[in-house]
Structures are given as C-alpha cells and as structure tokens.
Amino acid sequence: MKNWDVETVRKDFPVLHREVNGKPLVYLDNAASSQVPQMVIDRGSKYLAEEHSNVHRGVHYLSQHATNAYEAAREKVKRFINAREAAECIFVRGCTEGVNLVASSYGRRFINEGDEILVSQMEHHSNIVPWQVIAEERGARVRMIPINTRGEIIIEEYEAMLNERTRIVAVSHVSNSLGTVNPVKEMTATAHKFGVPVLVDAAQSVPHFPVDVQELDADFFVFSGHKMFAPTGSGVAYGKREWLDKMPPYQTGGGMIRTVSFEKTTYAPIPEKFEAGTPAIANAIGLGAAIDYINGLDFNAAAEYEHSLLEYATERLADIPEVTIIGTALEKASVLSFTIEGIHPHDIGTILDQQGIAIRAGHHCAQPVMNFFDVPATARASFAFYNTREEVDKLADAIQKVIEVFA
C-alpha cells in the first residue's frame, strides 16, 4: 500500500480534534456528510468577508471578482471529473436537486406514455422518487433492476430488461446503504447499445476514488459537495451537451434567459439555462476549494488507504458473532452496514454516541434495500481518508459494550 500519513491529514480538519460526551470524537458518518478542512472554511470566509457580490452581468469590481471565482470553481469541477467542457457542469444544491433536474427536464422532453425507466433496487430515495413522479406525469413506468443477497446488481437481469421502450437508466456508482461499487461503465455501454442514456448517482463515489465521466461515458453524473469536504448546498449535475441542449429549463427566472417579452421568451445556453436566480455562490466557491484540497493530496493513495480501512473494519466486525454485515459485495467502498441480533440500530447508535462515536442508524433513505434484506434499519459506519485503525478498534470495542448492555 502507498504511504498515507493519516495523522498529518487529520490536522487539516478542526472538528476531528473535539470531544463529544467527554470522549474524543470518532466520526464514522461520512456517507451522510464528510467534515470540512480548514482551507475550505477559510476560502468561504474570505469570500463572504472580502469578495461578496452577485455574479454575472455586474460591471463593478466585486461582481466581476465574484463571477471569476464562481466560474473558476466550475472549471475546477470540469477538470476534476474530466468533463469535455465546463458548460456541461451545472451547479445545484446537491445530488438530490441534480437528479430532480434531470428527471424533470429530460422526462418532459423525452419520456412519454408507455415508456420505461430502469432504476436499481439499491438506490437512495432521491434516485427513485423523482423518476416515479415524472413517470406518473408522463404515463410511463419505473422498473426495478434487482440485486442479489450480497447487495450486487444482477447484471443478467438488467441486460434482459433493456428494450425499445427504455428511455433512461438511473443507477448509483456506490450504494449509500451497502457500499457496493456498481459496474457503471459496463452498464452504460450496454444501455448505449439500445440508444438509452444513463444517469449515475455519484454522491458516494466522488469523495472516495478518482472518477472520469468520459471514460465512464456517463450521460448524466450527479454529486453533492457536502460528502466531498465542501459546504452543504453545493453540488453538480453533469450532463453531455447533446442532451442538455435539447432539454427544457428545470426552473425559470433571472439569469437563465436570453430575451423576455410577453410574446415569447428565449433561453440562455448551458450552463445558465439550468441555473435560474442567484446561485449559491459561496458554496460553489467552497466546492472549488474542496477540489483544490483533494488535488493537493495523493488521491489514489487516499483511496487505497481508505479501502484497507474498510477491509480492517469488516474483519473486526465479522469476528463478533452477534453482528451481521449487510452488504457483502466483492467490490465495496467506504460503507459498512450491520445489525446486531435483538438490538435496534437506533439503540446501537445511541450507545455508541455516548462513547463519542458517530455512526448513522436508520433506513438510510433506502427502504427498498431494507425490505429486500428484511430488516427495519441498519447501523452504518462510513469511512473517509482521515479515519484511523484505532477508531475502527474503538468502534468494535463499543459494539461489544452494546451487546453486553443488552445481554
């Protein structure tokens, strides 16, 4: 494994040095939201303190300065995901808004009565419900791509579901509830044989390993900033120009128009067409700073270290007889979901919190996954490159204490 100096990296994140309930914080809730490094905090503060103004169409110094910073962040996103052009990168509030944008705009233009939308069984609700809404509006139907007991998409069944009625496929790059890494490049290539575009929910992949939208050949690729060390309220909906140019606006108002009259309105080109109103300027600049932070690391080494941490945590929890790991795919990233026989995940999370350990307990906005595994909820530990083996040991020891309390 490549050398990874986790203690030096941890110094970049102020919150990791605080105590919770009198214990050093062990933050293992990164799949819900990662922590923010000091340089990202400082960049946001600098903008608000010294540079704040509305972007675009302003001739004064601050407006031009803010516009340059905002558009520079878009250029950073383009390079980070290897988009063909910055205009294909639409700023949104997060992955949820990104999926809603595509479902609504693509759906109104391309989905009609009798058409089919393929959505995997392991999706977050934000990549299920928007498709259900547009399907109901357009007279289409959503079809579920099934998973197996390891939490992997059954590729043979997916391939058999594609047909002349399929209009789009929606699939997560990495499952937020199981940690499964899906073969999205291969799934996309298969869909393209039918002329079907693919939306990839990349909320759980972008923070954990390098991505390349051109290599994946993704038609749409959406992710959130707050899971990749950036402020909340930041995110990106990438789309190939060939689709975005044909899609109607998602929202309307200032900034997204070319001309307005009471007879007819014409729209601005992308990306402005999809960014109505004053954008979340500070958050977008913060996202750009988070990308700068990641680019300053050896991201491949970070990914390798994080994967070794997940393997170690899996081994530690697998050694506890009362623990059942939910999601045992051959390819996984970041997420370790589990149950303890006879103990509700909320009780697990509460007792762990008393030990200063932050995990997530619940259905993780993935109720179809919980139904498939016949559990009401799971406890979920999720890792970032600033977590340590010592923190994994604390997690395992605390789980033993949970079992003793309920014995």
- The residue from 155, 257, 365, 375 that is catalytic is 365
Identify whether 89 is a catalytic site residue.
no
* CA atoms of 341 and 344, how far apart (whole Å): 8
CB 213 within 8 A of CB 79: no
Q: Which residues contact 68 (CB under 8 A, 6 or more apart)?
A: none
* CA atoms of 156 and 169, how far apart (whole Å): 15
The strand pairing partners of 257, in sequence order, are 267
CA-wise closest residue to 122 among 159, 170, 65: 170
Determine the 3-state secondary structure of 9 from DSSP: helix
Between strands 360-362 and 378-382, the pairing is antiparallel
* CA atoms of 238 and 220, how far apart (whole Å): 5
DSSP 53-117: ---SS--SHHHHHHHHHHHHHHHHHHHHHT-S-GGGEEEESSHHHHHHHHHHHHHHHH--TT-EE
Between strands 360-362 and 323-326, the pairing is unpaired
DSSP 301-317: HHHHHHHHHHHHHHHHH
Q: Which residues are catalytic?
A: 365
